[in-house]
Amino acid sequence: MKQDQKLIIQVSKELIDKIDDYRFANRVNSRAEAVRQLIEMGIAGQKKEPKKR
Please give the residue that has the higher pLDDT: either 1 or 41: 41
Q: Could you tell me if residue 5 is inside a domain?
A: no
Q: How many domains does the chain have?
A: 1
pLDDT at 33: 97
Confidence of residue 26 (pLDDT cuts 50, 70, 90): very high
Nearest Cα to Cα of residue 11 among 1, 2, 24, 20: 20
Separation of CA 33 from chain center: 8
Q: Could you tell me if residue 27 is inside a domain?
A: yes
pTM for the whole structure: 0.78
pLDDT tens, residue by residue, 3-21:
989 999 999 999 999 999 9
pLDDT tens, residue by residue, 42-53:
999 987 666 666
Q: Could you tell me if residue 53 is inside a domain?
A: no
Domain hosting 28: range is 13-44
pLDDT at 2: 83
**What span, in angstroms and rounded, lies between the C-alpha atoms of 47 and 10?**
26
Q: Could you tell me if residue 3 is inside a domain?
A: no
